[in-house]
Amino acid sequence: MEIKSVGVVGAGQMGNGIAHVMALSGYNVRLNDVRQEALDDALALITKNLDRQVSREKISQTDRDGALGRISTTMDMAAIGDSDLVIEAATEREEVKHKIFESLAPHLRPETILTSNTSSISITRLASRTDRPEKFMGFHFMNPVPVMQLVELIRGIATDVDTYDACLAVVNKLGKTAASAEDFPAFIVNRVLIPMINEAVYTLYEGVGNVKSIDMAMKLGANHPMGPLELADFIGLDTCLAIMNVLHDGLADTKYRPCPLLTKYVEAGWLGRKTQRGFYDYRGEEPVPTR
């Protein structure tokens, strides 16, 4: 099956990035959200990011105009159902994702492929609640989507070969690289990355170092482009905690126990950059460590 149209459910940080790269690669994109404000903000951000690419001579003005012309926004879930490929990019809460797929079901064509951008939730379990587990798989983009080159493709236990091949062809057309992952908690990237971040939070919690020294140590000592606590703020501490809970619950291993300090920050609503406070306070001109 050749995919020509893509429906993206969720216009947040990941959804608008997915819409951006899909439209730039020639796909007709329908972007959906429950709030018109979110759709307006997403379109404004996509326009800003495309303009930046033009100014840096990454793309032409014609490319930019064509991409924007291929994106439409809608609050109507039925309008998404007519797409060849649907990518769910809503919040990392399983019950929300189930509701989205249930509301899509009456509007889907028989050949439509359903995917989730989940960073950790079982693809097999999500697929089992749909009418097409063989046409369902994980399509996990990295953040920020226009910049990051990797896409994790995750097959559930029922995913058929044609579905995988169709999604792989999309990744190739985007000019990105696919990594095939088995359907185990957090897949590949977050199975390695998020426990490292959690360990950095434990290092802070136990007083081994402060925020600045931990991040500096990993940037200069391990040549990481961003310190683990700075990266946690970028990802969102609520997302980091959610993934740690998926690992802890799914693998039943105490090494995946979320650090109590990470839980405390999330309880405080200090979720990182998106709330202006996390391991750093972003409300001033320069980020200031909070511990």
Question: Is residue 163 a contact partner of residue 134, using CB atoms and an 8 Å limit?
Answer: yes
Show the tokens assigned to 208: 């081994």
92 is in an annotated binding site: yes
Give the C-alpha separation, 228 to 53, whole Å. Answer: 28
143 is in an annotated binding site: yes
Alpha helices in the chain (DSSP H): 13-24, 36-55, 61-69, 77-80, 94-104, 123-128, 161-173, 189-205, 211-221, 228-235, 237-251, 260-267
Please give the single-letter amino acid code of residue 117: N
Tell me, letter by letter, the H, E, C secondary structure of 166-222. Answer: HHHHHHHHCCCEEEEECCCCCCCHHHHHHHHHHHHHHHHHCCCCCHHHHHHHHHHHC
Which residues are marked as active site? 119, 140, 152, 190
210 is in an annotated binding site: no
284 is in an annotated binding site: no
33 is in an annotated binding site: yes
44 is in an annotated binding site: no
233 is in an annotated binding site: no
97 is in an annotated binding site: yes
11 is in an annotated binding site: yes
Residue ranges of the binding site: 10-15, 33, 92, 97, 119, 143, 274
Residue ranges of the binding site for NAD(+): 10-15, 33, 92, 97, 119, 143, 274
